[in-house]
Amino acid sequence: MQGKTIAFLAAPEGVEQIELLDPWKAVKQAGGTPRLISTDSGSIQGFNHLDKGDAFAVDATVDEVSAADFDALVLPGGVANPDLLRTNPQAVQFVRDFFDSGKPVAAICHAPWTLIEADVVRDRTLTSWPSLQTDLRNAGATWVDKEVVVDTKGPGTLVTSRKPDDLKAFCDAMVEAVT
């Protein structure tokens, strides 16, 4: 991953803090450069489940960058984060552009809601927080209950995991997909 730049897309509020920080650290430890992208400038508010966590400075907004600027995309979860992202057309297009260009994408927990909105899960196998399985199946995906799923059937590699307890496997698979 040395020398690669990885976009982390998060809404201004609602990102699950550990699902942002652990992959961020994994990217840095592997020699990559993580960049925080959001729909608004300034900072985003992290959450530890339902409790406010730390604030994180945004590097750029989705209207200032494109998928071409990055080597891969990470979508952290949290319930509110992907729900807010999927209502923003620029954020949805940003995600779709990574798939269209065949670049790796990693999504954990509730983050596949944004993938559903981007219409990129059809005929792919993935996992997520269990409550999303019907949404994913209705969008044409095959949902499985596994710690981490690496799908290479479509353009680019898609790495998904279910929850914070899966972060070690998620981070390892994400780094491998980008390397």
DSSP reduced 3-state for 49: coil
Considering the candidates 10, 109, 148, 167, report the single residue annotated as catalytic. Answer: 109
Separation of alpha carbons 28 and 48, rounded Å: 22
Considering the candidates 103, 110, 124, 162, report the single residue annotated as catalytic. Answer: 110
- Name the residue type at position 80: A
Q: Does 110 participate in catalysis according to the annotation?
A: yes
Contacting residues for 126 by C-beta, under 8 A, at least 6 apart: 107, 112, 115, 136, 141, 142, 143, 144, 149, 151, 158, 160
Q: Does 171 participate in catalysis according to the annotation?
A: no
| Residue 31: both structure tokens together | 């020699």
DSSP string, 117-157: HTT--TT-EE---GGGHHHHHHTTPEE---SEEEE-SSSS-
**Residues with catalytic roles:** 109-110
